Structures are given as C-alpha cells and as structure tokens.
C-alpha cells in the first residue's frame, strides 16, 4: 500500500467513514463549489468613497504611506516625487503591467525606468495592485510578467499603484478578483496580500521595520 493509501485509509478508519460515502462527498462538493462567505465584518461595508478613505486610513495605521492622485497620468510625477523625498536615485524597477506602461513616463526625462523582475540591486520597485482590502489596508498583488513577485520583496522601497475602483470592502471580495482563468490555471502562481512594510519583533519583541522585505511601502491611490 502506498503512503497515500495508508494515510487516507487510516483517516477513514479513525473517522469511521468510507471513501465512497455519498453524503460526505456531496457535502464536500457543495462546500467547494458554493464557497460560503461566512462572517463579513461590517467595518468595510461602505460606499465607494468611504471605502477608499478607510483603505487609506488602515494602510497608514500599519506604517504604509499613502498618496492620492486624480488620474493615472499623475502617477509618474508622484513616483519621482517620492524618490526625491527619500533621497533615492531617480530609478524605478517595474514589470510589464499595461496600466503602468500607459502612464506618461517619458515626460520625466531624468527618471530611469528599468523593466523586468528585480535582481536585488534596485532601491525602489513599482507594482500595480490587482485589488485592495479596505477592512485592513491590505494590497493584493499577483505574479506574472505584469508585476513580477521579486519587485514586491527585493527593493528597499516598494511603491504600489492601486485604482480606487479595485478596493473591496472585505478580504473575500478581494480574493474573488484573483480567482481568474490565467493560462488555464485557476490562480496565479503567487498572490501576495501585503499589509504594510516588512517588520520583525524577534529581538526582545521590539517592532522594527524592514526585516527582509521593503523597509517602506508607499501606496498611490488613483481616483476615488
């Protein structure tokens, strides 16, 4: 008997059940297809304007910085301004995201845009979020050529653009946005739910920012 069969049969023995038990199978099938949403906190169930405001407030509470701009066209300037304010070189790493690509980067002559995944030598990276969660100020980022995962973790400063229309009230709604059919798979390889910059409290429980991931997380909210 394979290890797989041995484990499964021991589980069935302990549960006093059989594998072809129709009622259990039906209950499992139902749960998987219906995916009930359980208890949704009232906190994030707001109209669009209040939801965006809550998202910004919650993100700031967990040490992210938030900047709001009116349109995508204002993003390159906001990025350049952030880099200047942190005394960082005028260089930004980003993936092939179409929303980012259509922004007027060439208008900023002094800003160097590096494309592709990060190799660890970038001071600042830029991503576009797939969704946001107002409830907790959480960003949802998905892997792929558009927004390579390495950009989320290797640069010291991570700048994330999010469209206010993509901010959901609760985590369940935001997760619904990532269950997309991409290359035949139901999920992207990596989904990162990011709530604030990296931190550790492992030495004497003293909370410090910038453990292994970015020291700073700057969120640019477009519209709303």
Rounded Cα gap, residues 8 and 20, in angstroms: 12
Tokens at 51, concatenated? 């939801």
Q: How far is the CB of 27 from another protein (least distance, A)?
A: 7
Nearer to another protein, 154 or 162 (CB): 154
Nearer to another protein, 46 or 78 (CB): 46
Instruction: Specify the DSSP element, H or E, that contains 25.
Output: helix 22-34
Q: How far is the CB of 94 from another protein (least distance, A)?
A: 12
Rg of the chain over all Cα atoms, to the nearest angstrom: 21
Nearer to another protein, 25 or 49 (CB): 25
Nearer to another protein, 61 or 84 (CB): 61
Q: How far is the CB of 195 from another protein (least distance, A)?
A: 4
How many other C-beta atoms can be found within 10 angstroms of the C-beta atom of residue 117? Answer: 17
CA triple 196-200-203, angle to 5 deg: 160
Q: How far is the CB of 173 from another protein (least distance, A)?
A: 10
Write phi, then psi, for 34 (nearest 5 degrees). -85, -30
């Amino acid at each position: 008997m394979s290890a797989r069969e041995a484990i499964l049969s021991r589980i069935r023995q302990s549960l006093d059940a059989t594998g072809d038990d129709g009622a259990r199978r039906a209950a499992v099938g139902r749960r998987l297809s219906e995916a009930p949403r359980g208890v949704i906190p009232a906190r994030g169930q707001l109209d669009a304007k209040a939801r965006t405001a809550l998202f910004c407030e919650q993100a700031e509470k967990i040490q992210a910085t938030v900047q709001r701009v009116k349109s995508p066209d204002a993003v390159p300037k906001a990025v350049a301004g952030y880099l200047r304010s942190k005394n960082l070189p005028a260089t930004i790493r980003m993936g092939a995201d179409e929303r980012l690509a259509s922004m007027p980067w060439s208008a900023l002559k002094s800003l160097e845009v590096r494309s592709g995944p990060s190799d660890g030598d970038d001071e600042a990276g830029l991503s576009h979020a797939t969704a946001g969660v107002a409830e907790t100020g959480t960003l949802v980022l998905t892997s792929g050529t558009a927004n390579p995962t390495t950009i989320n973790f290797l640069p010291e400063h991570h700048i994330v653009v999010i469209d206010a229309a993509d901010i959901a009230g609760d985590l369940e709604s935001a997760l619904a946005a990532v269950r997309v059919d991409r290359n035949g798979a139901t999920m992207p390889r990596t989904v990162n739910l990011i709530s604030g910059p990296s931190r550790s409290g492992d030495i004497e429980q003293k909370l410090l920012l910038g453990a292994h991931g970015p020291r700073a997380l700057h969120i640019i909210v477009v519209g709303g």
